[in-house]
Amino acid sequence: MTDQTQKTDPTEQYDQPENTDEQQAPPGLTEDMQDKPDHGEDSYRGSDRLTGKRAVITGGDSGIGRAVALAFAREGADVLISYLEEEETDADETVRLIEDAGRKAVKCPGDIREEETCQKVIDTALSELGGIDILVNNAAYQMAQMGGIEDISTEQFDRVMKTNLYAMFWLTKKALPHLDAGSTIINTASVQAVDPSPELLDYATTKAGIHNFTRGLAAQLAEKGIRVNAVAPGPIWTPLIPATMPVERAESHGESAPLGRAGQPAEVAPAYVFFASQESSYTTGEMLGVTGGKPVS
């Protein structure tokens, strides 16, 4: 990995990641990646923008979720991460990063495709953190099908919809009674919401839904002083890529972006910090693209 601290040209800030020789089994683990993502471990510096806040991050074990958890902790927030049980080793590393920043870390494993798990996430945040100020609906599932809609099974479609949309709906609904004015909800959308790849038809459909959910909910909650925004990443290098894409596609992931490379989780996390902090106090209902130059509107 390129030493990004010595680079200012965004096309050269990071080398294009190298893929493993074989596709990982979903959901994928950071430790099994040939080229590990950068989550900001050596670069992110906090400035007390989230001091005393309590955050819930789904999919917080790895990738964008880990980078956001690290950034939030270094900004002064305590963090609960939700993740699948098979991602325990990745979750443990995220916990270490949060605790090294001097903040409280809470683990809440389980499959958020089940409504009961979503209730458990919120209940655990209330009991272990004492409340919720920031909800980050980040967890997602995709599986590329190069043959298009004919290859998307009902089982896959159901998994994508429940992970990406149902869980966001359940978690938001269950958290809302516990959110005060000044709280924020941040959803992870995608460039796929406006520029869908044929092999990711079901995933792209959910990301378009997240875009509209964000804008509609923002309008609904504005009078309560609760802001709702979305970050729309482009091609970011996370365990999901080698676990859900053919090897040859993973190898070229991000090369079609105007900046010519895949992004790193560390490059996305600051957008979540912006939406979570008072710096964005007059911003709600927005979708902020971190895409390497691909438009999201």
Q: What is the tens place of the pLDDT at every residue in 153-207? A: 999 999 999 999 999 999 999 999 999 999 999 999 999 999 999 999 999 999 9
Confirm whether 241 is domain-assigned: yes
Catalytic residue numbers read 203
39, 265 contact by CB (below 8 A): yes
Query: Per-residue pLDDT for 5 more than 60?
Result: no
Closest CA to 204 of 296, 115, 275: 296
Comparing 21 with 14, the larger pLDDT belongs to: 14
Comparing 28 with 179, the larger pLDDT belongs to: 179
> What's 150's domain CATH number?
3.40.50.720
The tally of domains found in the chain comes to 1
* pLDDT tens-digit series, residues 199-234: 999 999 999 999 999 999 999 999 999 999 999 999
- pLDDT > 90 in the chain, percent: 83
Comparing 8 with 157, the larger pLDDT belongs to: 157
Task: Please tell me the predicted confidence (pLDDT) of residue 220.
Answer: 98
Confirm whether 98 is domain-assigned: yes
29, 56 contact by CB (below 8 A): no
Q: Give backbone dihedrals phi and psi of 109, rounded to 5 degrees, phi first.
A: -75, 155
Query: Per-residue pLDDT for 2 more than 50?
Result: no
Query: Per-residue pLDDT for 101 more than 80?
Result: yes
Confirm whether 10 is domain-assigned: no
Angle, nearest 10°, between helix axes 201-221 and 154-161? 30
Task: State the Cα–Cα distance between residues 206 and 29, nearest whole angstrom.
Answer: 23
- pLDDT > 70 in the chain, percent: 96
Any idea what DSSP says for residue 236?
B
Confirm whether 72 is domain-assigned: yes
Task: State the Cα–Cα distance between residues 231 and 275, nearest whole angstrom.
Answer: 9
**Mean pLDDT score, 260-281:** 97
Task: State the Cα–Cα distance between residues 147 and 201, nearest whole angstrom.
Answer: 11
144, 244 contact by CB (below 8 A): yes
The alpha carbon dihedral of 108, 229, 70, 101 has a sign of: negative
Domain range holding 136? 18-290
Confirm whether 7 is domain-assigned: no
Confirm whether 12 is domain-assigned: no
pTM of the predicted protein model: 0.94
Band (39; pLDDT cuts 50, 70, 90): very high
227, 185 contact by CB (below 8 A): yes
* DSSP β-ladder status, 78-83 and 134-137: unpaired
Comparing 173 with 243, the larger pLDDT belongs to: 173
Task: State the Cα–Cα distance between residues 49 and 185, nearest whole angstrom.
Answer: 16
Task: State the Cα–Cα distance between residues 293 and 291, nearest whole angstrom.
Answer: 5
**Mean pLDDT score, 32-47:** 92
**Mean pLDDT score, 261-274:** 97
Task: Please tell me the predicted confidence (pLDDT) of residue 33.
Answer: 86
Task: State the Cα–Cα distance between residues 54 and 126, nearest whole angstrom.
Answer: 10
Task: Please tell me the predicted confidence (pLDDT) of residue 188.
Answer: 98
Confirm whether 11 is domain-assigned: no
Confirm whether 229 is domain-assigned: yes
Average pLDDT, the chain: 93
